[in-house]
Structure formats: C-alpha cells, structure tokens
Amino acid sequence: MGNSFTCISHEEEQRPTKSSAGRGKGGSKTRKYMRRLSLSCSGSSSTSSSKKGVIRPKKKIRERHHQDHHGHDKNSHIIQEQTLAATNLLFNQTPRNSNYVVPPNFRQSTSSSGGSGPVSAVQSPKKSTCGFVRTSSSRRKSSVNPVIKPNQELKKVEVSETKRFVLVHGGGFGAWCWYRTITLLEKHGFQVDAVDLTGSGISSTDTNTITSLAHYSKPLLHFLESLKPNEKVILVGHDFGGACISYAMEMFPTKISKAVFISAVMLANGQSTLDLFNQPLGSNDLIQQAHIFLYANGKKNPPTAVDYDRSLLRDFIFDKSPPKDLALSSVSMRPFPFAPVVEKLHVSEKNYGSIRRFYITTMEDCAIPVPLQEAMIKLNPPEQVFQLKGADHAPFFSRPQSLNRILVEIAKLPFKKSS
C-alpha cells in the first residue's frame, strides 16, 4: 500500500522571432521612447517594445512572457509552489468535512508504539520497475486519453447523476493527499469532500487503539449519514481506503451513486486485506522491507499498527511523483491500524452489489503491483476498468490531471436504470 503526488505538464517552447517593425527610417530616439512609454502606460493591445527597443506585436510579448515565466522565474515559481502547498496543507487547509491522514506498511520492528500516457489495455507483457511482468487485460478499456496537452481544459460537467465527490485516502495518508484532485475537480464544477479516517491526518485518535474496520471508517460513515435524504455522492477510495468505501457501500447503498477504486483494495465477500497480500502476486521484497509492524501491546500480542520505512518511500510509493510531494508525504504520513487489515469484509449483493463500481489501475505501482490489481479485478469484476500509464501508487501526485480526466468521465456516465 502506498502514497504520493504531482504532475508537470510539458509545454512546447517557442522562440520569439525578431520583428522588423520600428526599424524604419526617420524614427528618432525621443520619439521611440515616447511611443514605448505611451504603450506601457495606456495598456495598448496592438504593440509593445522589447528591451532592445524593437516594436513587437502583442502575440510576441505573450511568447516572451511565457518564456520568462518558464525560464528566469522557474526556480522562484517552484519555491513559491512548495511553500504554499506545505503551508496550506499542513497548517491552514482543514480536510473538508473530516479529519486528517496517516501512513503505514509491513515489516517487523522493535518499536512498541506508533510514533500520462493513454488509458488503454496493455499491449504486450512488459516488466515494471517493481520487477513484475505485466499481463494483458481483456477487460473493457476507457475511451478517454489521459494525456493532457498544454492549456487543454476539460469542459465543466453539465449532466451527471451527482456532482459531488467524496475522497477517501489510503493507509498512512490523509485528506491532505487529495489537494491537487480537489482543485481540479472543483475547477470543473464538482463539489468535493475529503475525509480523514480515524487516526489519520488531523485525527487525534491513537492509531494503536483502533480495533475494527467500522472504527477506522467512522468519519466516512458519519459523513454519509449526514447527507440529505435524496442526496448521492461518488465515493472514491485509494489503497486501503478501498476496504473502507466497500464497508460504507454495504452500510449506505442509497447514498452512493458510483464507487471508484484507485489502485485500491477491492475485496470480495469474506476476504481480508491480509488475504490479498498473502497471495504470491501480492508480495515482493520491497513490500516486505517497506512495512514496519508496531506492537503497542508487546510483541507477545498481535501488531497494533503498521508504518512505512521512510527511507523506502520513494521507491515503494512515490517512484514517479515530484520530490516536493514526496517531502510533504514524508512529514505528513502516519501509521495505520493493523486490526482492519486482518478483518474479513462481509458484503451483500443487495447493498454493495447494487452500486456501480469502477477500477483505475496504476501501471507503475510497486505498492499494489499490477498483477495483484488484475487479480482483484478478475475475482470481483467492476463495471469498467481504466489503466493509468506512468502512474505510481500515488496517481494524485504523479498523474493528477490524467486521474482527473478519468474521474470526470466516470461522473458523466449516464444514469444506469435497474432492470
């Protein structure tokens, strides 16, 4: 299980071409100076001057401004962005209608307390950076292309069953990890809420005291219970958050329009998360090394929480994510409870089975490898599967805009009448 973030759009650089305007005979220095001064003060949209005194059309000015922004001001822009993100997320931005987040993983420890490529089917077997061989999928692929071109924007959603998303973080994360997704979805007309599960984010609960999936999911359940009688939401779960939204689907089937699993635990009835990772497909050396078991009740008793080895976060979860998102996660993640990991999920066809499910596969994932994701899909088939190329276990960081496109596509799928 894992976490991380960011996406950098690559804009095609344009070289400004020299204009012959303003080089005619008879133009005195004083006249040129007065003309440039007049243009700069009046905000004329026709022409402007460069620092060499050459009159250029407005279009060229925009190109120059674009280059300056991505050239000389690049470093200051990155610093400002990092500062704003860290400040807003860690101190000012309280998760919407919820609490904050925590991080976890699996390896024994002496600690006794919790301290864009296109969306398509895989064309041929390819070995991932995690050492797994990817297999082809016969499931229906998405028609959306997650590659975002510079300045390309999605149209605001016009028709959908609901315009409200509820985002549920994975193990060790918190509502803070969704900051990019929240911004993008709201920009396109959606209402977005991100919850902090118990013991995660800004929650003051000690992770070691959480003893059940119901306890861990309590903030999410309270949120759904507070919705208006006829209001529905699109429920999105990442990582271990998949088990939490599955539990909520069984408890509040009439409140959920669609459920989206993003590289998430998607359990079948009677299955636990530990059962999944005990399969040969769900284990590798990196997974075992990255997780650390915590024993708040002593080593003679079962573990109480799971944490991540911070030195392995980059390789395990954030392999494709920007350094600033890795840094944010390193100081924000908390351990996650162990009891819900071993708890078997019990769901029914009447409740859980009545909700439309969608799965988003992250193709460069080392925390929940592609073979394990495909095994979950095969055992418990959703309505549709999307493949997000170039995404690590934290697509909200590594491929935020591509992820947003898929979420918008899912939201716009027409209402499916029951037969």
Q: 40 in a domain, yes or no?
A: no
Residue 319 annotated in active site: no
Choice among 307, 319, 325, 365 that is catalytic: 365
Residue, of 377 and 117, whose pLDDT is higher: 377
* In-domain check, residue 233: yes
For the cut 80, the answer to whether the pLDDT of residue 81 exceeds it is no
Which residues, including other chains, have CB under 8 Å from residue 398's CB and lie 6 or more apart?
4, 5, 6, 7, 318, 319, 320, 321, 322, 364, 390, 391, 392
For residue 219, the domain's CATH number is 3.40.50.1820
Mean pLDDT of the chain: 75
Cβ distance 196 to 175 under 8 Å?
yes
- What's the pLDDT at 280? 76
Structural domain containing residue 182: 161-412
pLDDT at 21: 40
The mean-pLDDT minimum among 73-77, 260-264, 332-336, 392-396 falls in 73-77
**pLDDT recorded at residue 281:** 67
Q: Is residue 92 part of a domain?
A: no
User: Residue 289 pLDDT more than 60?
Assistant: yes
Of residues 169, 238, 291, 393, which has the active-site annotation? 393
Cα 24 from Cα 375, distance rounded (Å): 72
- Annotated active-site residue 239? The verdict is yes
Average pLDDT over residues 248-259: 97
- Does residue 229 lie within any of the structural domains? yes
At residue 287, the pLDDT reads 86
* Residue 288: per-residue pLDDT: 86
State yes or no: is 393 an active-site residue. yes
- The answer to whether residue 151 sits within a structural domain is no
Count of domains observed in the chain: 1
Summarised one tens digit per residue, pLDDT across range 201-220 is 999 999 999 999 999 999 99
Q: Can you tell me the distance from the alpha carbon of 414 to that of 403, in angstroms, rounded to the nearest whole number? A: 20
**243 inside domain:** yes
| Range picked from 17-31, 80-94, 275-289, 299-313 for highest mean pLDDT | 299-313
Instruction: Establish if 255 belongs to a structural domain.
Output: yes
What radius of gyration, in Å, describes the C-alpha atoms of the chain? 25
Confidence of residue 140 (pLDDT cuts 50, 70, 90): very low
Instruction: Give percent above pLDDT 90 in the chain.
Output: 57
When pLDDT is averaged across residues 54-65 and rounded to a whole number, the result is 41
pLDDT-derived band at 66, boundaries 50, 70, 90:
very low
> Residues 239, 307, 319, 392: which is the catalytic one?
239
**Residue 127 in this model has a pLDDT that exceeds 90:** no
- Residue whose structure tokens are 């539990």: 247
Give the whole-angstrom CA distance, residue 240 versus residue 245.
Answer: 9
Least confident range of 129-138, 147-156, 171-180, 199-208 = 147-156
- Sign of torsion, CA 176 180 182 183? positive
Is 364 inside a domain boundary? yes
Q: Count how many residues are written for the chain.
A: 419
